[in-house]
Amino acid sequence: MDLNAILTKAVNAGASDLHICAGVPPVIRLHGDLINLDEPILTPHDCVELAKQCLNSRLYETFLEEGEVDSSYSLPGVARFRVNVFKQRGTCAIAFRTIPQEIPKIEDLGLPGLVYDLSLKQRGLILITGPTGHGKSTTLAAMINYINSKRRCHIVTIEDPIEFLHRHNKSVINQREIGADTKNYANSLRAVLREDPDVILIGEMRDQETIATALTAAETGHLVLSTLHTIGAAKTIDRIIDVFPPYQQAQIRTQLSTVLQGIISQQLIRRADNKGRVLATETMIWTPAIANLIRESRTHQINTCIQTGSQFGMYTMDMCLAELYKQELIDYESACQYSVDMDNLRKLISM
C-alpha cells in the first residue's frame, strides 16, 4: 500500500489524525469523530510495510526492540506528521497527527489577546495545558512564531519529535529532536543552559527532573514555554508540585510563585453547526494575589481569583464555555461535557 496516498487522502478530508491498525481500513479523526477511509481492510503485513515507509532503518530497529517509537514524517506539498509506531497484540499499529505546513497566527487560533503580552515576556514560565489533541503544540508554535517576528533573541526548542518547522526571522531558532539530536529531555535541558538561549520551548514537562530544570531556567532569566496534560490553572499548579517529594514541595511552591507568568488551558469543542471545532480557553496570569496563594498552598482559591481578575484578562473555562454557548457556537450538551463545574456553568448560562 502507498502511505503517501493514504496520508494525502486524510489531509484532503481535513483529518487531524490517521490511525493504521490491522483488521480495519485506515481510520481518520475528523472534528473529534473517527471515520473509516474508503480503503481495503489492513492486514498485519500491510501495517508493517506502511511503518517501514515512514521510519528509517534506525527508528525501525528501535521500534522492534522497544515496542514503540516516536518520529516525524514529511510529505512535501501536503503536510508534516507526528508519528507514533507501536505494537499491539503482536502486530504493528501507527498513529499520525497532522501538522500544517504554515504556522498559524495567534489571532487565527481564537486565542485571547493576553497571549501576545505573555509571548513577549523576557523571563519566566508560561504553560499551555489541556487534553491530548486539543491544540497545545499549535498554540506554542504560534507563540514562538510571534516571538520570532518581534524579538532579536536565541530560541531553542526541545521536542519529541519536532512538529512545526520554524525559519529564522528576527530570532535565531535551533530545534532539537529527542532521539535524533539529543538522547532525552534531561540531557538536552542540562545542555541548553550552556547554549546561550533567551527562549526555551520544552515540548512537554514529563517528569520531576524536566520540571525542576524548567523552573531553574525560568528563575535564571530565561523565558520557558511548555505543556502539561491538565485542565485548569489550579490543577496545573497542583500537578507540578505533587511531582516532587513532600520535603521539596515548599521550595517548589516558592519557586513557582516567583517564575510563573501565566497558564493558558484549552479545549477544542465541536461547533454547534458541526462545521469544525472551536477553542475554549481558561487564562491565568501572575498577580501578587495568585503568587501568595501558590506559596501558602491555597491553590483551591485560585479559581475565585481568576473569576474576579477580569481586569487582568483572566477568566475560567466555565466562563468561556458559557460565552460560547450564548454566542451559539457550541450546544448545551457540549458545554456541560467540557465544563469544570457543571453547577457553576448553569449559573453562568442563566445570567
pLDDT surpassing 90 at residue 327? yes
- Please compute the mean of the pLDDT values over residues 180-187 and round it to a whole number: 86
- Whether 331 is in a domain gets the answer no
User: What pLDDT sits at residue 236?
Assistant: 96
Q: With helix as H, strand as E and coil as C, how does the chain read? A: CCHHHHHHHHHHCCCCEEEECCCCCCEEEECCEEEECCCCCCCHHHHHHHHHHHCCHHHHHHHHHHCEEEEEEEECCCEEEEEEEEEECCEEEEEEEEECCCCCCCHHHCCCCHHHHHHCCCCEEEEEECCCCCCHHHHHHHHHHHHHHHCCCEEEEEECCCCCCCCCCCCEEEEEEECCCECCHHHHHHHHCCCCCCEEEECCCCCHHHHHHHHHHHHCCCEEEEEECCCCHHHHHHHHHHCCCHHHHHHHHHHHHHHEEEEEEEEEEECCCCCCEEEEEEEEECCHHHHHHHHCCCHHHHHHHHHCCHHHCCECHHHHHHHHHHCCCCCHHHHHHHCCCHHHHHHHHHC
Asked whether residue 89 falls in the same domain as residue 131, the answer is: no
> Which cell is 71 given?
518520529
- Whether 343 is in a domain gets the answer no
User: What pLDDT sits at residue 40?
Assistant: 95
Asked whether residue 8 falls in the same domain as residue 145, the answer is: no
- Whether 344 is in a domain gets the answer no
Residue at which a domain ends, from 50, 65, 99: 99
User: What pLDDT sits at residue 190?
Assistant: 87
Asked whether residue 126 falls in the same domain as residue 57, the answer is: no
Asked whether residue 87 falls in the same domain as residue 231, the answer is: no
Q: For 190-232, what is each residue's pLDDT tens digit?
A: 899 899 999 999 999 989 999 999 999 999 999 999 999 999 9
What rounded mean pLDDT belongs to the chain?
94
Asked whether residue 167 falls in the same domain as residue 305, the answer is: yes
Asked whether residue 258 falls in the same domain as residue 172, the answer is: yes
- Whether 118 is in a domain gets the answer yes
Q: Are 107 and 122 in contact (CB under 8 A)?
A: no
pLDDT surpassing 90 at residue 257? yes
Q: Are 278 and 268 in contact (CB under 8 A)?
A: yes
pLDDT surpassing 90 at residue 77? no
Residue at which a domain ends, from 82, 99, 116: 99
- Please compute the mean of the pLDDT values over residues 38-61 and round it to a whole number: 95
Asked whether residue 153 falls in the same domain as residue 16, the answer is: no
Res. 288 pLDDT band, cuts 50 70 90: very high
Asked whether residue 114 falls in the same domain as residue 89, the answer is: no
- Whether 199 is in a domain gets the answer yes
Asked whether residue 188 falls in the same domain as residue 72, the answer is: no
Into how many domains does the chain fold?
A: 2
User: What pLDDT sits at residue 312?
Assistant: 94
Residue at which a domain ends, from 99, 118, 138: 99
Res. 286 pLDDT band, cuts 50 70 90: very high
CA dist 79 and 66 (Å) reads 28
Q: Which domain holds residue 190?
A: 106-315
Res. 315 pLDDT band, cuts 50 70 90: very high
pLDDT surpassing 90 at residue 100? no
User: What pLDDT sits at residue 32?
Assistant: 86
Asked whether residue 145 falls in the same domain as residue 62, the answer is: no
User: What pLDDT sits at residue 199?
Assistant: 98
pLDDT surpassing 90 at residue 160? no
Query: In this structure, what CATH number is given to the domain that contains residue 18?
Result: 3.30.450.90
Res. 98 pLDDT band, cuts 50 70 90: very high
Percent above pLDDT 70 for the chain? 100
Tell me the pTM: 0.90
Asked whether residue 155 falls in the same domain as residue 292, the answer is: yes
Query: In this structure, what CATH number is given to the domain that contains residue 265?
Result: 3.40.50.300
The most confident of 125-129, 206-210, 273-277, by mean pLDDT? 125-129
Question: Per DSSP, what are the bridge partners of residue 84?
Answer: 70, 95
Asked whether residue 68 falls in the same domain as residue 140, the answer is: no
- Whether 269 is in a domain gets the answer yes
- Whether 350 is in a domain gets the answer no
pLDDT surpassing 90 at residue 269? yes
- Whether 81 is in a domain gets the answer yes
Q: Are 30 and 14 in contact (CB under 8 A)?
A: yes
Res. 135 pLDDT band, cuts 50 70 90: very high
User: What pLDDT sits at residue 183?
Assistant: 86
Res. 296 pLDDT band, cuts 50 70 90: very high
